[in-house]
Chains A and B, each alone.
Chain A
Amino acid sequence: MNIVFVLIPLSLVLVSLACWAFFWSVNHAQFDDLDTPALIPLSEEAPQPTAPQPEDEAPQ
């Protein structure tokens, strides 16, 4: 049972680490816009002029 006296303080340390990480990301504008970044992976590659997709096949 004595192991809990190590594990529980350890879990508290982890929680405070998570809290700190979250505060850091909020302060660095990571949560200000939650809509736009979702689209970035869809067009990862640099823009290059290619034949367009017919619009009716627009993936949504």
Chain B
Amino acid sequence: MLVARIGALQHPVCCIGCRAAAEWIASLGLQDYYRLRDAPPPRAVSVGDYSAWDRPQLQRLYVHRRANGDAEVCVLLEGLRCAACSWLIERALGTMDGVRETSVSVPGKRVSIVWQPHIAPLGAVLAAIAHLGYVPHPLDRQSLSDVAEREQRAAMKRLVVAGLGMMQAMMFAIVLYAGALEGIETSTRDFFRWIGLLVTIPVVFYSARPFFAGAFRELRARRPGMDTPVAFAVALVFVASAVETVRGGAHVYFDSASMFVFLLLGGRYLEMRARHRASDIVDALARLQPAVAQRLGANGVVESVGVHELEVGDCVMVADGATVPADGELISTECRVDESLLSGESTPLLRRLGERLIAGSIVIDGPAQMRVARVGADTTLSSIVRLVARAQQQRPRWARYGDRAAAWFVSGLLLVTTITAAAWLAIDPGRAFPASLAVLVVACPCAFALAVPAALARSLAVLAQRGVLVLTPNAIESLTRANYFVFDKTGTLSERNVEIASSEVTGRLSLEQCLEIAAQLEAGSTHPIATALRAAAGHAEAVRARNLRRVDGNGIEGDVDGRHYRIGREQFAHTADAVDSDLIVLADDEGPLARFELRETLREDAAATIEGLRNAGAGIEILSGDSRVRVAALAGRLGITQFEGRVGPEQKLARLAQLRADGRNVAVVGDGVNDAPALAGADLAVAVGGGAELAKSSADIVLAGDHLAGLIHARYIAQATLRIMRQNLLWSLVYNAASLPLAAIGWIPPWLAVIGMSLSSLAVVVNSLRIKGSGAPGAIAQPTSSSSALRPVPA
């Protein structure tokens, strides 16, 4: 068993990489990392070759040169989990010569590094990061000036200005209320009103500007939405109060105006934070398409170059476990590739000399050599990306809840105000202004405008706590409507590895001994079958196998404790004329010892999720790119009767179109690149967290915790949210409808109008807080960030 020595203690670790990482961390004196982290880090990977990043051709796209000679790069870090990770990276890089600044953003999963290129080459800096166990992906220069960051900063400033303005305006409003009761000199009163006007001006003209801009856009497009009533309410209350201030009228409403702006901005700020957090995880294609390729020169020398430098006809080396950089054909004898992300095919495929390799697939039994046939936008991967873009344009966009209502609400409000003013001008011109003002204040659609955002912001926050990230505002509504769920198989219902379904021994050795021998033989292999056998053997011992020889596509043979064994396909392991089956056989020279039947590992909560959805009355179907036999086997285990195998991205889209034409609301759950077009074409798209980035970028909802059961939970919360939204809308409409006539006939004094408006808004916000995650069916206790802190060293 491998152990890492940290001080006087020994910790069990899984692999040499982890041991190296742990001991390196200790040698730097960074053991505090293990106390501070709140999630276990990824396994340390073997450090790759990052020297290609020192090439000026590559750096031009990624590195920003500063005037003083320093260079700056922004790197996306795969495997960055928690604040302790960022502490580790900052400390570890801080000890490197030539590195001036590192600032890690945990929510953005990226680090920006400023370094002195003449002291520390970029390749060495990246290798140091990789050494820690994080996979660095430098991002191109645009990501240094982040749009999301600017949006976040502007929103924060607006919110704080609105908050400060609101507090001031309320303070002066209290003086005015008290003055109205106790008696106040007119000059003092007017002084406080002018001050109130002064502090409200920045709130209306700076903080509320997005609402006015939005209303302007909506009006120009002749589609009044939520911004229109908001902008009207703010403008009306502010203008009315300003007019009252100038002419010394009965009442001013500066406190209401700024409170309204503050509450709305608060809701939008939370919504934006949730959106950013979700889209941070989605960094499409950054990880799928490698930036560096190993080009074979004419004289046989391997040279690391940027992928954009590749040209058709170049020869490229792809190492074991590396990603194929471009489409091309194999020029070495054979290799095995994992295309599960691109096609859904769950087993690695054997490719022989001259056969096609697709960019984005992963070479398993490398290294392989290939000749580049298509690069950049011509690759299969890029065409899938274009398919996604097209499907996204076709997606039906649900009108936002309340949008339709908002249009007639605003026009109705203006109509009633005009009628009131006209009627009072005819009856008693002196009361026309206060009465129409009371109508405007009472009927101010504040509660109405808050009804949806307040509930939405609350439910996004609750869902985010459960690891369900909502990317589009329509997702909540779509989720409650969805009545047909289409699942992808590989990576969604099943994990990307296999397990031993059943095993049978011939009797000469016990099952434990057979597994032990099998694990010894497979010790050095990264093949999924090898992983499954090692997992079944339970514990790793020092490798005793000798003379290991891998026969590609068939199996492995070698000596363990002096005896010769073979493991692999039946015809390889013991006889040449055995039937071709999926069984894995362990044999020695005298004949077979054990047979292992393999099957895909189900995601642990897949069965419970399917069961829960079925109980809720939803239809379930599997569409997969994998072979029909495997899809059928998995569907049988989950009790699903509708399934289809060998379905490509375009057929998936066609099947979805057919389902939707039948009047179903289809939700697609997937994770692979091949699912991305289907996700984009569905009524609701759900991506599972561990999947490809492209799939996530076309999703409405991302299950970040890698728990499928989050879906059932999210459905429950979405239904609760919709219920609360309806209550909020109903309440605000009833309140407005009831108070409007009273205000119009002049029965509501201005102070009561203000209190009513504030209370109705408050009622909506408090009602939204009733959306809670607890009590949902199928709720799975997920490890919170604090409870997972006590896990042992990565093992």
Contact = CB atoms under 8 A, between A and B. Distances in A.
Interface of A: 1, 5, 8, 11-12, 15, 18-19, 22-23, 26-27, 29, 31-33, 35-36, 38-40, 42-43, 47-56, 58-60
Given A12-B195, A32-B149, A43-B36, 5 more contacts: A23-B157, A33-B106, A33-B107, A47-B29, A49-B29
Nearest to A35: B83
B35 interface: yes
Contact of A36 (B86, B198, B786, B792): B86
A52 to B, nearest CB: 4
Contacts of A54: 9
Contacts of B86: 36
A54 B10 CA distance: 11
A8 B29 contact: no
B87 A43 contact: yes
B742 interface: no
20 contacts: A12-B195, A15-B164, A22-B157, A26-B156, A26-B157, A31-B156, A32-B153, A33-B104, A36-B83, A36-B86, A36-B104, A47-B30, A50-B31, A53-B35, A55-B35, A55-B790, A55-B793, A58-B35, A58-B790, A60-B790
Contact of B160 (A19, A53, A58): A19
Contacts of A22: 157, 160
Contacts of A38: 83
Interface in B179-213: 188, 191, 195, 198-199
Interface string B146-186: 00010011001100110010001000000000000000000
A49 B35 contact: no
Contacts of B104: 33, 36
B161 A55 contact: no
Given A43-B36, A52-B6, A52-B34, A33 B105 contact: yes
A22 B7 CA distance: 45
Given A31-B156, A36-B83, A52-B7, A15 B168 contact: yes
B83 A47 contact: no
A29 B152 CA distance: 11
B488 interface: no
A60 to B, nearest CB: 5
CB-based closest 4 A-B pairs: A47-B29, A52-B31, A49-B29, A51-B7
B786 A42 contact: no
Contacts of B28: 47, 49
Contacts of B7: 50-52
A7 B724 CA distance: 45
A1 B187 CA distance: 12
Interface residues of B, number: 44
Contacts of B32: 42-43, 47
Contacts of A60: 38, 786, 789-790
B8 interface: yes
A52 B91 CA distance: 17
A18 B335 CA distance: 65
A55 B161 CA distance: 45
Nearest to B188: A1
B26 interface: yes
A39 B104 CA distance: 13
B27 A49 contact: yes
A31 B198 CA distance: 28
A40 B88 CA distance: 11
Given A23-B157, A47-B32, A58-B789, A18 B106 contact: no
A31 B153 contact: yes
A26 B26 contact: no
A14 to B, nearest CB: 10
A36 to B, nearest CB: 5
Given A49-B27, A58-B34, A39 B83 contact: yes
Contact of A19 (B8, B83, B84, B164): B164
A59 B786 CA distance: 10
A34 B157 CA distance: 16
Nearest to B787: A60
B26 A52 contact: yes
B82 to A, nearest CB: 8
A54 to B, nearest CB: 7
Interface string B1-40: 0000011110000000000000000111111101110100
B26 A35 contact: no
Nearest to A23: B157
A1 to B, nearest CB: 7
B103 to A, nearest CB: 8
A37 to B, nearest CB: 9
Nearest to B27: A49
A44 B731 CA distance: 53
Contacts of A55: 34-35, 790, 792-793
Contacts of B161: 19
Contacts of A36: 83, 86-87, 104-106
Contacts of A50: 7, 29, 31
Nearest to B6: A52
Nearest to B164: A15
Most B CB within 10 A of own CB, among A29, A42, A43: A43
Contacts of A23: 157
Contacts of B793: 55
Contacts of B83: 35-36, 38-39
